[in-house]
Amino acid sequence: MNARFIDWIWNVRGSLALGQGQSGEQALAKLSPLFLEPYTEHDRSGDTLMFTKTHPAAQDKMAVFESGVLKVEKGVGGPVLHYHLTSRFLLFSFLAPLLFLFFGQLAIWTAKPEPTPAEAAAKAKEAAAKPLPELHPIDKFLGAPAPEKPKPGEPSRRKPSSTAAYVLAGIFAALYVIGRILEAWLVKRLFLKRLEEQPD
């Protein structure tokens, strides 16, 4: 399988046409300040800029991306900036719903099968025949109610449920979709804003 078909999950790709008369060197010079943040290393070579981040600060506008490549190439209408950014945060956000779905299914797979009506009746009869434990003197003094025998047909335990796991999976799936779309839009807007800035 071509990795390109699945790497969109944690990779963001895009392109921006440069302004009239703007060279690749000028464009990367405007974008370089974004990579002067702490724990960020970048290297410019010609019309290509590569960066890596380790433990980026929360105020870093590109903290969600730990590596990437920005390259200016010639297009039909002029120079075009192409960028390819990688984010482990997006990958973990994508895997989180799958993890909760697995836990939900695991709860069902490992649950004990429900007893048949005959087995349930036999257990209820056996429980009814057992004498109830006496209340502790301290509990009696505090007015605690005496233990009661289980009523006929009353379930002895709750059925296993995977609802909570499915709800969490849905929440994290929604967060991934929103984050994937939002981060791609935010980084494109950030680059565009920098490229449109006029030199001092």
What is the tens place of the pLDDT at every residue in 147-158?
666 565 555 555
Query: Could you tell me which CATH number the domain at 3-90+178-196 has?
Result: 3.30.310
Count, residues in the chain: 200
Task: State yes or no: pLDDT of 141 exceeds 70.
Answer: no
Question: What predicted TM-score, i.e. pTM, was given to this entire model?
Answer: 0.71
The domains of the chain are located at: 3-90+178-196, 119-153
HEC string for 58-99: CCCCCCCCCEEEEEEEEECCEEEEEEEEECHHHHHHHHHHHH
CA atoms within 13 A on the CB side of 34: 26
76: tokens are 């039909």
Query: What pLDDT shows up at residue 14?
Result: 95
Mean pLDDT of the chain: 83
User: What's the CA gap between 10 and 169, in Å, rounded?
Assistant: 18
Which CA distances in Å does 100 have to 72, 80, 179? Answer: 41, 42, 19
User: What's the CA gap between 152 and 129, in Å, rounded?
Assistant: 12
